[in-house]
Amino acid sequence: MSYMAATDNRPNTSELDINILVKKWFEGVKKRDVNKLLSLLHPDMELTVPFQTETILGNVNALQTFKAFDESVNNFNYKNVLIDGNIAALHFEGDINGEHLQGVDFFHFNADGQVEKIEVMARPLAAIQYLHEAVNGCKI
């Protein structure tokens, strides 16, 4: 039986600088620049969030979900970034209804430098439940 390192199995992104793409995401978030954010998201991207079982499809729907998140979470900021191949893990923190929210956004970039998938993992459960309530009013 042979074992392969995770780094041996990932797509070739040698021509892409994921760090630059993540910085562009941060700039777009900071300035609330919808056009910049949309340019980074593939039109048919997938977003999975901890408070919904169904995958959210499409860059516009994903941004609507992030907008509802932004309007509900106070003191939101990204703390750390880890990059491995075409995946960037963005650690975030914020507060919602007195609960301290912590989580990670896993951005999966394609060879063209667009995000094809974002997986959001967050804790604690109380904060996730507040997020569900806040985003539930968002048209998805």
CA distance linking residue 110 with residue 49, whole number of Å: 20
* CA-to-CA dists, residue 110 to 3, 14, 30, 43, 93, angstroms: 25, 12, 23, 12, 26
User: Which residue matches tokens 């923190």?
Assistant: 93
* Per-residue pLDDT at 52: 86
pLDDT at 61 over 50: yes
* Per-residue pLDDT at 137: 62
Q: Are 109 and 87 in contact (CB under 8 A)?
A: yes
* Per-residue pLDDT at 135: 79
Task: List, in order of start, the domains of the chain with CATH numbers.
Answer: 6-136 (3.10.450.50)
Given pLDDT bands bounded at 50, 70 and 90, which one contains residue 32?
very high
In this prediction the pTM is 0.84
Amino acid identity at 113: G
